[in-house]
Structure 1
Amino acid sequence: MDVDPRRLAVLLAIQRAGGVLAAADTLRISPSAVSQQIARLEAETGVRVLDRRPTGAVLTAAGHVLAEAGERIESELTDVRRTLAALEGDVAGTVVVGAFQTVIRAVLVPMLLDLPRTLPGVELVVRETSPEGGQRALRTAAVDLLVLEADAQGEAPTPRGVRDVPFLDEPWIAVLPAGLTPPSTLVDLAGHTWLGVEPGTAAARAVERVARTLGTVPETAHRYADFDVAIALVAAGLGIALLPSLALQRVLPDGVQAVAVPGLGSRRLVVRHRVTRKEPRPEVLAVLEQIVEVAGALELA
């Protein structure tokens, strides 16, 4: 049996993505090209690898066996690329990044998908973490890079022994129930019921700053830490909120409007790393450069 390993990669993409159409999006080829590769794989192996149903295509038992073989080949090729990169003097090693939801979704996941091409010798490990837990992990070397947020108009000094590298300033956006008149100035935000924000977060500091500018203490109802929770509360008409642009990259639910209002300021994102005689390592700096590059290409509101 003579099997082209590239067809196994297509089958593996179908298994991971959950169907032919989704696999085509992942592989950036047409659905017909995916189907052609599967037809040729079935001809080469003499077995049916997909069970085509009205709800979509799923792998047969034989398809699962071949997909597992494709996964082993993929893993071995990744190891080979890392070894070759090390031999050529390119950076190689494992880099652990601690971050939170919006940065993981908008920056780190795209990086992970492209890393075999951009940094073949580097393994990137992402850990979702809180600022407090992340800073403990950075001190104990459990993470190499830590993403932190700050209200750009009220930054705190950087502790000794670490360095902060700013990589994105994203605007704060007013998020309101759709039935309210869209604000055009900060004054238009006064008098509304606000959603409370978890203390100590950049969003909480931004709300406090805006309140001081307005000379008022906003009436608050409920409290959120997760931005998706805030959007759900706004959609229910329970208050208004300030959210960073990255939290609004997906389609908003019905009943929610997002408005850029002059004077709201921005959220600053920084990457923190240790500074010692041996740190940061070359691979850590390489990943840091990638984070800056990917973030710089984002389209923000």
Structure 2
Amino acid sequence: MTLNPWRLRLLNKLEAHGTIRAVATALDLSPSSVSQQLALLETETRTKLLERTGRRVRLTPAGLILARRAAAILDHMDAVEAELRSFGTEPAGLVRLGAFQSAIHTLVTPAVLRLARTYPHLELQVLELEPHESLPALRSGDVDLVITTTDFVEEPLGPDLDLVPLTTDLIVLLVPPGHPTVGLGPADLAAYADEPWAFDRSGSYMSNLTTRLCRQAGFEPKVVGRFSNYSTLLRHVEAGLSVAMLPSLAVDPRYEVATRPLVVPVPRAITAAVRRGAAPRPAVLAVLDALS
């Protein structure tokens, strides 16, 4: 079944105006033309949509349902058309972007530089927000879009958000440069049960993920430090004071730490998210395009 948007609009107008003549007058058409198009819609849907009562027509129950569904369908199509048209409008104004640490260095900073050259009237404000902070901020309207991960089970991505996949990376184990396991193959976490561990902040994505993976390996990690900054955490590992887990994007090569993949790979899907609803502003779309 193929539904013609123009004929759906006529059916919706009939439900609103009540008569074919009133629909014709509102749209500057002849009544016979409106009748013909509605008859074609009945043929397309293979459903009786209209019934005659004397010289008038009225919607059948099926016609009434389709007319009311048509309003939502047409509204959605109008929003999509507006979104596509906005690509031709010069982006300008303030866009507030929430992103976690490693994404700021690897994804956001290059995008900011590109946008500054391309759209001089666009202002991008970057806020460092981990997934447990950024999604509530997006839903409350405190930011316009965020970079997050799809596998943060404590803060699920629901149907109220539109997602734009960006990239993936792997979770890796970090050990000091002189650790006896440097240079070996994939790491079995169970072998690190007695090691001191450095963690991200309590409740954060990496803190929860590291705890969960250690418990799956059969032990409770001995946490000797919690750091809100990955540079501090990397320095702690570099000094030989701990081992840790981080996403590979977060491993700054300036620090002398050794990385090992995990025996069971743990990929992280990184995505941009915006609130679903009205079509995003051209400036927001420009930021999404630069990040992609």
With the length of structure 1 as denominator, give the TM-score of the two structures.
0.58
- Aligned residue runs from structure 1 range 46-195, under 5 A: 89-94=88-93, 95-119=95-119, 122-131=122-131, 133-149=133-149, 151=151, 154=153, 156-181=155-180, 182=182, 183-184=184-185, 185-186=187-188, 187-195=190-198
Partner of 1:40: none
Deviation at 1:171, TM superposition (A): 0.8
Partner of 1:261: 262
Check 1:127–1:245 CA distance in 2 against 1; reply closer, same or farther (3 A cut).
same
Partner of 1:80: none
Distance in 1, Cα, partners of 2:114 & 2:106: 13
Q: Structure 1 stretches (4+) deviating beyond 4 angstroms?
A: 116-121, 130-133
Q: Specify every segment of 5 or more residues in structure 2 that has no aligned partner in the other structure, as ranges.
A: 1-84
Check 1:179–1:249 CA distance in 2 against 1; reply closer, same or farther (3 A cut).
closer
Check 1:102–1:198 CA distance in 2 against 1; reply closer, same or farther (3 A cut).
same
RMSD between aligned residues = 3.0
Distance in 1, Cα, partners of 2:244 & 2:255: 14
* Length, aligned pairs only: 203
Distance in 2, Cα, partners of 1:247 & 1:271: 17
- Fraction of identical pairs, as percent: 30
Report if the CA contact (8 A) 2:197-2:244 is conserved.
yes
Check 1:93–1:137 CA distance in 2 against 1; reply closer, same or farther (3 A cut).
farther
With the length of structure 2 as denominator, give the TM-score of the two structures.
0.59
Distance in 2, Cα, partners of 1:201 & 1:168: 20
Deviations 1:200-248 (A, max 9, x none): 2221232123223322222221222321111111122221000111211
Partner of 1:288: 288
Deviation at 1:257, TM superposition (A): 1.7
Q: Specify every segment of 5 or more residues in structure 1 that has no aligned partner in the other structure, as ranges.
A: 1-85, 293-301
Distance in 1, Cα, partners of 2:143 & 2:159: 17
Give the number of the structure with larger relative contact order, counting CA–CA contacts within 8 Å between residues 6 or more apart. 2
Matched, 1:239 2:242: yes
- Higher CA-based Rg: 2
One-letter amino acid matched to 1:216: F
One-letter amino acid matched to 2:156: P
Distance in 1, Cα, partners of 2:289 & 2:154: 22
Partner of 2:276: 275
